[in-house]
Every structure is written in C-alpha cells, then in structure tokens.
Amino acid sequence: MIEVQELTKYYGDRPAIQDVSFSIQKGEVLGFLGPNGAGKTTTMRIITGYLMPSAGRAFVGGHDVEKEPLEVKRLVGYLPENPPIYLDMTVRDYLYFISEIKGVPSSQRRESVARVVERCGLVDVYDRLIGNLSRGYKQRVAIAQAIVHDPEVLILDEPTIGLDPAQVVEIRELIRELGKEHTVILSTHILPEVTMTCNRVLIINEGRLIAADTYEQLSRRLSDRRQVQILLDRPLDDESFFQDVPGVESVRAEGRELVVSVGVDTAPQPELIRRLVEKGYGILEVRSSLPSLEEIYLRLISGEKGGH
C-alpha cells in the first residue's frame, strides 16, 4: 500500500532524513518511533504529499507522491501533531466544510459526516462549538476530519499528546478500531500504544531507519535472555536446586515470587516446575516476558548515538 524508496529530505544543507526505505502492506498498523527531530514528521509529510523529497521516491496505492500528489491526497487521511480544527465552528459545520474540501460528492456528504460522527463518538457534541469542547473531544474531531473522505491510509502524528489517561484509553480504542478498516501509520512517544495497537514497528534516529520488524522479532533479535516469573504459595527457602537446570542463567527470590533469567530460545519452565512441586511448593502463576518495547527502543537509540 505504501512504498518508500531511499527517501532523502534536506532543509538547507541539513539532512532531515537520509536513504529511508520501507513498505507497508494494506491493512497493516505500523508504529513509527524515534526521538524528537529524528525525521518522523518529515517522512509522514512526504508520504501525504505535503512535502516533496530531495531525493528518493514514495508511492501510496501505486501513485507517486511527487508526480501524482492529488491522487495520493485522495487516498490519505492525515492527523498532524497540531490538528487543523477551527474553534469558532460547530462540529457539524466543520465536518461538512472539510468533507467539501476533501472532495466528498455533495450527495454523499451527509452520510459521510454521520458515519464519522458516530465512529468518533461525537454525537453528543455535534452542534457545539469546537472551542468549547474538552481536549479529548477536540482530538476526536481532528480524527474525524482525517477520515471523513474514507481514505485507505490513515497517518496519525502523536494522536494522544496532551490527553489525560482516560482520554488516552478512549483514543487508543478508536485507533484500534480504525486499524480494522484502514492502513495506519501511528507516530507516538507513548510506547504502550504501539504494543497494544500496531502489527509492526519502524524506528528512526538522526534521519536514518535503524529497525523495522514486529515487536516480538525485535525482542528476540536484540535480547539473548528473557525472564520467567513463578509465583509460589510461600517464600522460597533454597535457590540452589535450580542452578543446574539447562537454560537457567540466574535465580532471584523476591518474597513468594521467583524471578528466573533464561536463554531466549530455551524453555526450562517444565523442569523448574517439576523441581518445585517435588519440594512441596504450590505453583500459583507462571509468566514469561521479553524485554519491553521501551527497553528495545532505548537500546537501539543509545547504540546509534554511541556509533557516531
């Protein structure tokens, strides 16, 4: 659905992005991560046709963003970090205005506006001034303007920035629902949003793409160990009988929880549990965890910085 080939953009003599290449399949929800100034917004603006690249090419639905920008804009819905909403208009008037700008035929505007009002949870504020709405509702209006023309691709730049925790959950659920019908690029600094909503992760740093994979594959590729947590019915009084279990690197008892560091491609849990049961311990819970996306992200970013 989206194909980016060796994309480069200069601002004066400073490169914002250099030789960025990736592809996104139809129906995929992609998390786009990187520090401030890494080149995320520049890349997204080029994909939307808002900016032209200095070198390289980008395609949306087979259309070249440089040669066919209008066709690309018809396929893309864009929510920038600072949404283009007009505070002195009602939700109704604003969405009708945007639907006209985005080329929705007059015979279909009523249906299109009604669809996004329902989808974005705006029914109760439909006739209110946007300037009088809460930040969460304003963000819903901004998302509604991005999808009112029913685009195939949805690009969201920091969609939950500045929202309170309850509003973040609401917008996250909305994005998850939108991901069922649209190809989505989600740029955010809130990493749990990515693990909860995205199929794949792109990480960009200092204008260059440094990782592109699923969270699970990145975890396995960048970590040589994982943790197994075992909750017991009473505190462990002897850790020594685990030391010779194949795959076990270390054992740490924290009250009734046993934290075991194991090799990433090993599975010592059955032997661990067998030995605990033989010693008379009750097993209440067993969990296994890979490094968090935050740990992976920080490792990649710090590794890149260390290389310069």
3-state helix, strand, coil in the chain (%, to 5): 40, 30, 35
Residue 276: give the domain boundaries.
225-289
Q: What is the pLDDT of residue 308?
A: 41
Q: Which position has the token pair 């989505």?
A: 184
The predicted structure's pLDDT at residue 184: 93
Q: Are residues 205 and 105 in the same domain?
A: yes
Please tell me the predicted confidence (pLDDT) of residue 98.
Answer: 96
Same domain membership, residue 152 and residue 126? yes
What pLDDT was estimated at residue 304?
56
Rounded Cα gap, residues 181 and 111, in angstroms:
17
In a domain, 308, yes or no: no
In a domain, 302, yes or no: no
Asked if 144 and 251 sit in the same domain, the reply is no
Are 230 and 211 contained in the same domain? Answer: no
If asked whether residues 166 and 284 sit together in one domain, one would say no
170 lies in the same domain as 230? no
Q: What is the CATH number of the domain that holds 192?
A: 3.40.50.300
- How many folded domains does the chain comprise? 2
Shared-domain flag, residues 132 and 261:
no
Of 219, 240, 272, the residue at which a domain comes to its end is: 219
Give me the average pLDDT of each 10-residue run along the chain (308 residues).
94 94 92 90 93 95 93 93 91 97 95 94 95 92 93 91 82 84 88 83 92 81 73 85 80 86 78 88 84 79 58
C-alpha angle with apex 215: 213 to 220, nearest 5 degrees? 90
